[in-house]
Amino acid sequence: MEFLGFHILESCESGNWKPIKVGQSGHKFSDLFFADDLVLFSSATISAAHAIDEVLGKFCNASGQKVSLTKSRVLFSPNVSSPICQDIVKILNIRETTNLGKYLGIPISASAVRARDFDYLIDKVSSKLSSWKSRLLSLLGRTLLIQSVIEAIPAYVMQCTALPLKVCDTLDGLNRNFLWGSTAEKRKLYLVSWRKVTQPKKLGGLGLHLARARNTAAMAKLGVVYKKCLGSRTWGELKKGWPLFLRGSCWAIHNGLSTSPWHDNWMGSNSLRNLLVGPLSSSEDKLMRAWEFFLIVGPSTTSRASVPIWVRWTPPIPGWIKLNTDGSSNGNPGLAGGGGVICDHEGNWLRGFARHIGLASSVVAELWALRDGLSLVIDMDFLIVLIEIDAFIVVSFFSTNAPRHPCLSSLVDDYRYLLQRIPQNELKHVFREANKCADSLANLGRT
């Protein structure tokens, strides 16, 4: 295939093969390769047809393979005249078609999506439901079949195609009829509205999903990759999930150079400008950065004179194991590392670790080091553990009334889960001077 791709590129550069472009600002492309399947693109000219035939001939002669003419088709734009189409078909010796059918289960269509294009999806769901006898199943059994089998059938198509509303309503209707045992011959009363049935279980529903909502969520997952619509119908459909993605996302502050504290959603619920009432001038941007520090660190309620204290590492009481961890970041964010050490009540070194984290802030590095240390403690089957870190902000994340940080919630959740696997534990903050060994290991992991 690399040989074929080289000759296609050579023909395009010489001007014989003219690739096509999606939209006025889109990229030009001439081919798509997937295993032994090829899709070739070119302007509909006689010279381009000869160039395609020449390139395919070189490839077949060099590789010993042949083009399956019976399986191959040529699709023309409606703007191409009939005589040109006939001449190109004769040159390529490939039959013309107006419909490329499906590839990997997805309809290939150059026109707008129509509801009838997805009749095969509805037929597949209907045939699966008709093979089951709902009257012989309990409500729980019918619910499980819908969740595990029926909702999985259109999942693949939903990831790359925005299904028409009529198709989504039809899929919901099939699931609804099967759930309540209603058929074309005998209609039954729906005891609860479908909107309530499709609520999560914790809200009183059965955990089923609306087809339209699942389709939008699937498009939102891919919409983050294809934020800019390049003019293609597929890109346009993926962009439909972008508003949903924005509602569930937030900005990571990092150094703040590319983040607007007023207008960007960095708090997880809404932008700060939308939460405040009244006109605000741009000169208050510095005040917003001060507020950001205030919200994360918190205010100082008392002022007291500095009093020197002795700080040193102390071993745990007999029967306990002590875990010291630390994270280090050069630049915040910058190259980060984490490290830690595990000791017994006599101060003996039991295990230590150091790792390279990559580009991260100091808080993220602290959380990764803490996560690695807890995983190591669990692997060594220690049941009574004292955990010490020198980052007070990280300790504050795990207090019972601490607000949920949207950008660090996954690491914090990992910590809570690992902590549940240690029967007796305690987390406390210590000064950096009492955590020098873990600090040295973190600096070692950063390099």
What percent of the chain shows pLDDT beyond 70? 79
Neighbours of 287 (CB within 10 A): 11
Predicted pLDDT at 349 = 92
Question: What structural domains does the chain harbor?
Answer: 1-98 (no CATH), 115-217 (no CATH), 321-446 (3.30.420.10)
Give the chain's mean pLDDT. 79
Tell me which range, 104-113, 160-169, 281-290, 435-444, is most confidently predicted by mean pLDDT: 435-444
Kindly tell me the sign of the dihedral angle through the C-alpha atoms of 356, 361, 362, 366: negative
Contact 8, 1 (CB under 8 A): no
Predicted pLDDT at 296 = 47
Q: Is 423 a residue whose pLDDT tops 50?
A: yes
Closest alpha carbon to 406 in 305, 270, 219: 270
Predicted pLDDT at 141 = 87
- Phi and psi at 43, nearest 5°, equal -70, 150
Predicted pLDDT at 110 = 59
pLDDT tens digits, residue range 195-213?
888 888 888 888 888 888 8
DSSP H helices, 321-435, are: 362-379, 392-397, 409-420
Provide the CB-side half-sphere exposure for 228 (13 A, CA): 5
* Cα 313 to Cα 436: distance, rounded to the nearest angstrom: 8
Token pair for residue 4?
């074929």
Kindly tell me the sign of the dihedral angle through the C-alpha atoms of 157, 159, 163, 169: positive
Predicted pLDDT at 361 = 85
Token pair for residue 426?
């305690």
Neighbours of 148 (CB within 10 A): 9
Mean local confidence (pLDDT), 87-104:
81
Provide the CB-side half-sphere exposure for 141 (13 A, CA): 9
Contact 363, 394 (CB under 8 A): yes
Predicted pLDDT at 225 = 57
pLDDT tens digits, residue range 351-396?
999 999 888 888 889 999 999 999 999 999 999 999 999 988 888 8
Closest alpha carbon to 230 in 221, 220, 239: 239
Predicted pLDDT at 177 = 86
* Cα 380 to Cα 340: distance, rounded to the nearest angstrom: 14
Q: Is 44 a residue whose pLDDT tops 50?
A: yes
* Cα 304 to Cα 398: distance, rounded to the nearest angstrom: 26
Predicted pLDDT at 162 = 80
Which pLDDT band, with edges at 50, 70 and 90, does 229 fall under? very low
Mean local confidence (pLDDT), 66-95:
84
Which of the two residues, 268 and 381, has the higher pLDDT score?
Answer: 381
| Cis bond before residue 318 (omega within 30° of 0) | no
Phi-psi domain of 196 (left: phi exceeds 0; alpha: psi -120 through 50; beta: other) = alpha
Contact 159, 152 (CB under 8 A): no
* Cα 410 to Cα 368: distance, rounded to the nearest angstrom: 11
Which of the two residues, 325 and 334, has the higher pLDDT score?
Answer: 325
pLDDT tens digits, residue range 396-409?
877 655 555 666 77
> Which residues, 6+ apart, have CB-to-CB distance to 374 below 8 Å?
323, 387, 415, 418, 419, 422
Predicted pLDDT at 413 = 83
pTM above 0.75, yes or no: no
Helix axes 362-379, 436-446, angle to 10 degrees: 110
Q: Is 298 a residue whose pLDDT tops 60?
A: no
**CA 158 vs CA 162, 172, 213, 238, 309: distances in Å:** 6, 14, 10, 10, 63
Phi-psi domain of 298 (left: phi exceeds 0; alpha: psi -120 through 50; beta: other) = left
Lowest-confidence region among 267-276, 285-294, 321-330:
285-294
Predicted pLDDT at 6 = 80
Which of the two residues, 264 and 387, has the higher pLDDT score?
Answer: 387
Mean local confidence (pLDDT), 166-188:
84
Which pLDDT band, with edges at 50, 70 and 90, does 291 fall under? low
Contact 362, 389 (CB under 8 A): no
Closest alpha carbon to 323 in 371, 387, 418, 389: 387
* Cα 339 to Cα 353: distance, rounded to the nearest angstrom: 5
Mean local confidence (pLDDT), 241-258:
69
Lowest-confidence region among 26-30, 287-291, 316-320:
287-291
Tell me which range, 37-41, 216-220, 431-435, is most confidently predicted by mean pLDDT: 431-435
**Each residue of 100-120: b (16+ CB within 10 Å) or e?**
eeeeeeebeeeeebeeebbee
Q: Is 228 helix (H, G, I), strand (E, B) or coil?
A: coil
Predicted pLDDT at 255 = 66
Closest alpha carbon to 170 in 111, 120, 237: 120
Q: Is 167 a residue whose pLDDT tops 50?
A: yes
Q: Is 326 a residue whose pLDDT tops 90?
A: yes
Predicted pLDDT at 297 = 47
Predicted pLDDT at 290 = 53
